[in-house]
Structures are given as C-alpha cells and as structure tokens.
Amino acid sequence: DAGVIQSPRHEVTEMGQEVTLRCKPISGHNSLFWYRQTMMRGLELLIYFNNNVPIDDSGMPEDRFSAKMPNASFSTLKIQPSEPRDSAVYFCASSLGAGINTQYFGPGTRLTVL
C-alpha cells in the first residue's frame, strides 16, 4: 500500500519567493496533519484537517503560511513570501478517523530558504 506521499522532497528557494508543498494522504484516511521540524523547536504541529476541514490552525506561524485541502486526497502548504527562518523539514501525516489513532508520516520536504 502507498504511504503518505510528499513533494518535492527537497526545495531550495530564495527569500521572498512563494513555496508550495504538496501532500497526498493514505487512501481512506480522513485526518491530515502538517508538521514542521527544526533543531531548535523540535516537531511542531502547524495545522490539522479532518474530513478536509481545517480544525486547528493555531500552530501556523503567521499569515505568510496557508494550507488547503480541496479534497480527501490532496493538501498543500504554501509559504508566501518565504524567509530564511522558514528553513526546516515539513512533514505531512495522515490517520484514520477521530480519537486515538496512529498517524503515518510522509518522507518530509526539506526546505531551504536562502
């Protein structure tokens, strides 16, 4: 079975540019999560969708970050404009249903903003 798919795997961009990260959750999973991982702050939840609806976006750093889930099989995380401090690994994860179910992570996108 295909796991969570993320693209691109690596992204290098210049400050001020728009960056779009993509995620395809595991088929049948209805919860989707975007995380950011840095050495300083560890793993942080940015936003959580349930049934394509954003439930908790309190972790989104600021208005430069936006996320969408137009359908059950696709989500995007956009940063516009990007800044060097946005450099991190961004993970997408999905899980089945509500409650205490296991999240499965994608391989991550390593973002470098110069």
Partner 1 sequence: AQKITQTQPGMFVQEKEAVTLDCTYDTSDPSYGLFWYKQPSSGEMIFLIYQGSYDQQNATEGRYSLNFQKARKSANLVISASQLGDSAMYFCAMREGRGTSYDKVIFGPGTSLSVIP
Interface residue list for partner 1 (CB under 8 A) = 31, 33, 42-43, 45, 48, 50-51, 55-56, 89, 91, 93, 95, 98-105, 107-108, 110
To the nearest whole angstrom, how small is the minimum distance from the Cβ of residue 14 to partner 1?
23
User: Considering beta carbons, is residue 74 or 105 the nearer one to partner 1?
Assistant: 105
CA-CA distance, 52 to 75, in Å (whole number)?
9
User: Considering beta carbons, is residue 48 or 65 the nearer one to partner 1?
Assistant: 48
CB 109 within 8 A of CB 90: yes
To the nearest whole angstrom, how small is the minimum distance from the Cβ of residue 15 to partner 1?
24
CA-CA distance, 12 to 112, in Å (whole number)?
5
User: Considering beta carbons, is residue 82 or 95 the nearer one to partner 1?
Assistant: 95
- Distances 26 to 2, 29, 39, 105 between C-alpha atoms, Å: 7, 6, 28, 10
CA-CA distance, 50 to 39, in Å (whole number)?
28
User: Considering beta carbons, is residue 92 or 113 the nearer one to partner 1?
Assistant: 92
To the nearest whole angstrom, how small is the minimum distance from the Cβ of residue 16 to partner 1?
26
To the nearest whole angstrom, how small is the minimum distance from the Cβ of residue 51 to partner 1?
8
- Residue of 34, 36, 17 whose CA lies nearest to 87: 36
